[in-house]
Structure 1
């Protein structure tokens, strides 16, 4: 399978965006970018302190992710990025027309349990409620797929690849 445009793996914290994004990129032989790496230090510090980001904090970050996606061009690429709101995805689409989204979705209970198990990540479990409150699932008119995060990372990637192939 070839991606002719970038794919953004999206969802709330703890859904496995980084893990699934990296595995998906490897599976289809394209570059991978960790969306968290595009955050300025001030954003990371704010989240680590348990303070949700505001839109003003997110716009420069989204612009950086979008620029990376645009630069991938027809070579394709996969990036992780929460992209919780339609407005954020619209911003990414403006920067990188044709970008597809893979929304990783699951129950709050499952995602919280995964967040509690991970070590060394700046995003505290305390911010999960604000993530779910902000989340706007993909609209029917948006180019993308929703994939359940139940199962192993390999199973999730296979579901994502199959769903993307049907777009």
Structure 2
């Protein structure tokens, strides 16, 4: 039972920072939406708005709708102030919501890094892996022991005898006997 409590506590400690930051970003996003809504109600200058034209088919396929008055197009968020349908085309007069666009980019990066899907992090890990791998795994070294002949005597035997002759010292006294 104690081990389960510790395991759950450690899991919460790992998840809490990411979840808290995500919730904070969502809160900030909703506050921005409210602020822009009040700006729209107060009346905006027409020069601040962007006019986007789509065919009805493009409006269904190219736009990712958040809700009836907000959509994402080419990674940018837009809030609809007015819409006008002329034949097969739809004209949206929109407020380009660059603050929400930046916030969405931050959220995507946060989620990507939390689930180890961030491209920069993956590239850095790959480079580190290559670097560390170069220390341990170099080109394979192939070596075979082949006896070298020198004047009819094996070269290794001569080398062995010259190296280890100094080690072979006979004891000064005979070893003790056990009874």
Q: TM-score, normalised to structure 1's length? A: 0.23
Q: Which has the higher strand share?
A: 2
The structure having more radius of gyration, on CA atoms, is 2
Bigger relative contact order, structure 1 or 2 (CA pairs below 8 A, ≥6 apart)? 1
Q: TM-score, normalised to structure 2's length? A: 0.22
